[in-house]
Amino acid sequence: MTELRAALRSWLDGRMALGEPELFLAGTRSDALERIRVTGSGAAGTGESELDLSRLSSEGTREDILGIGDMDALRTVAEACTRCGLHSTRTKVVFSDGSPDARVLCVGEAPGANEDRTGLPFVGRAGKLLDRLLLSVGFPRAEVFICNVLKCRPPGNRNPAPDEIEACSPFMLRQLELVRPTVIVAFGTFAAQTLLGCRDSLRHLRGRTHLYEGYPLVVTYHPAALLRNPGWTRPTWRDLQLARRIADGDRSTSSTSATPGGQPASGAEVSGDTVAPKDQLTLGGPNG
Ligand code: SF4
């Protein structure tokens, strides 16, 4: 308790140094103390903060992970994570690439061999193709946020197991909450089915906008699949055009449409649990 008190004092001193003479905390006193302890924001550089983050890497509950206060702390916890068996076979944790301020959040399935070696998602030939596709609709890689459902590579690129998804999903969910994108793009069947909680085929899921945690979500082919089936490049480009339109529509209207649990982006109509684009896309583009 003494260490926690010291952390709280350090944090309050920091707020005062930043010109914040008064502090209003929502929730109960224990809520506030827990938040300070979990985020480590009041104990930056102290042993307690590092110890707490280390504890979350091995023992943290789903709620603990979802309570981590910033992307750097979340990355620190993920990079030391032993919450599922994949930690014993990975080379590097593949946390993310791109900008945490992005309007577009791209989600793939899990790291492959190149990603496991480099610690970056979507690298190698498939990654380069993704970069070109994103750029063709005006999204440079550095301006989107890229991650996977799983942060560690399943051995031999096997499908992720349900318990691995369960253990790892809080990281992706917290990434989503911290980035707060205008639109999510799910690449490949696995990512789409995992996020949408269904077993529908990619063919069925493509071409319309879904909602995930209140955010518009577009489904498309994984770039690795495009390398095997170049004929899918044109449909993928059309899916990314849809994502572009959602991003643009949201940018040009009220920011309230970008909040979690908020309304779908402007330029779209809600039908049941899905959102259908108002207009037909103009065809044409790379390879098409
Ligand atoms: S896959 Fe996710 S839950 Fe499993 S060890 Fe890696 S970071 Fe942790």
As beta bridge partners, residue 187 has 220
Do 168 and 150 contact (CB within 8 A), yes or no? yes
Give the domain extent around 147. Answer: 89-277
Nearest CA to ligand 1 atom 2: 168
Q: What is the pLDDT of residue 197?
A: 94
Q: State which H helix or E strand residue 234 sits in.
A: helix 233-251
Question: Tokens in use for 206?
Answer: 């493509």
Q: Using one digit for the tens of pLDDT, what is the confidence trace for 122-156?
A: 999 999 999 999 999 999 999 999 999 999 999 99
Handedness of CA 126, 275, 193, 197 (dihedral sign): positive
Cβ of 134 closer than 6 Å to ligand 1, yes or no, is no
Q: How many angstroms separate the CA atoms of 277 and 281, rounded?
A: 9
Q: Which of 88, 81, 75 has the alpha carbon at shortest distance from 59?
A: 81
CA 209 – ligand 1 centroid, Å: 29
Q: Is residue 56 in a domain?
A: no
pLDDT computed for residue 22 by the predictor: 61
When pLDDT is averaged across residues 241-257 and rounded to a whole number, the result is 67
Number of domains in the chain: 1
pLDDT of residue 277: 33
Is the residue at 204 inside a domain? Answer: yes
Residue 285 forms part of a structural domain: no
Give the list of residues 6+ apart from residue 100 with CB closer than 8 angstroms, or none.
71, 145, 178, 179
Residue 112 within a domain: yes
Within a domain: 154 = yes
Tokens describing residue 62: 């789903």
**Mean pLDDT of all residues in 67-91:** 96
pLDDT at 269 (0 to 100): 31
- Distance from C-alpha of 150 to C-alpha of 188, rounded to nearest angstrom: 13
Average pLDDT, the chain: 80
CA 127 to centroid of ligand 1, rounded, Å: 22
Q: Exposed, middle or buried: residue 273 (CB in 10 Å: 0-12, 13-18, 19+)?
A: exposed
Given pLDDT bands bounded at 50, 70 and 90, which one contains residue 54? Answer: confident
Report yes or no on 269 lying in a domain: yes
Where is mean pLDDT largest: 6-20, 179-193, 263-277?
Answer: 179-193
Q: Tell me, what's the pLDDT at 265?
A: 35
| 2-16, 142-156, 230-244, range with the lowest pLDDT | 2-16
Band of residue 272 on the pLDDT scale cut at 50, 70, 90: very low
pTM over 0.75: no
Instruction: Give the confidence band of 53 by pLDDT, cuts at 50, 70, 90.
Output: confident
For residue 268, the model assigns a pLDDT of: 35
Residue 66 within any structural domain of the chain? no
Look at residue 199 and tell me if it is in a domain: yes
Axis-axis angle for helices 29-39, 47-59 (nearest 10): 90
- Which CATH number does the domain housing residue 261 bear? 3.40.470.10
pLDDT of 85: 97
Cα–ligand 1 centroid distance for 109 (angstroms): 13
Task: Please answer whether residues 178 and 144 qualify as being in contact, where contact means their C-beta atoms are separated by less than 8 angstroms.
Answer: no
